[in-house]
């Protein structure tokens, strides 16, 4: 009898990390575009905007990684497939 395999999907930690990083990245990008950039404190760069873009890029990498290489687990003996 051959064991069936299934993907873990939403329970993959890479999805959770990617969503959280993406959310915080969007918040930082919005703050970088709307709020006072305070160039005197950051040496002439918009730190919120740069950090937000970086977080969005890292979030995209995590989500792409989870989509291209999903975790596959074997179905336990006697476990019925879900509908």
Whether 23 is in a domain gets the answer: yes
Q: Which residues pair with 68 in a beta bridge?
A: none
42 located within any domain: yes
pTM score, whole prediction: 0.77
pLDDT digits (tens, 9 = 90+) for 56-81: 999 999 999 999 998 887 777 776 76
Structural domain of 61 = 11-70
- 31-58 per-position pLDDT tens digit: 999 998 888 888 889 999 999 999 999 9
Residue/partner pairs of 13-16 with CB below 8 Å, 24 or more apart:
14/62, 14/63, 14/65, 14/66, 15/62, 15/63, 15/66
Flag whether 2 is in a domain.
no
Tally the domains of the chain. Answer: 1
Q: What number of other Cβ atoms are within 10 A of residue 7's Cβ?
A: 12
81 within a domain of the structure (yes/no): no
């Amino acid at each position: 009898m051959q064991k069936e395999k299934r993907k873990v999907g939403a329970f993959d930690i890479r999805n959770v990390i990617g969503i959280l990083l993406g959310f915080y990245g969007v918040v930082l990008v919005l703050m970088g575009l709307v709020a006072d950039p305070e160039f005197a404190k950051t040496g002439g760069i918009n730190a919120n905007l740069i950090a937000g873009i970086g977080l969005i890029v890292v979030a995209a990498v995590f989500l792409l990684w989870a989509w291209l290489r999903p975790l596959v687990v074997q179905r336990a003996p006697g476990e019925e497939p879900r509908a």
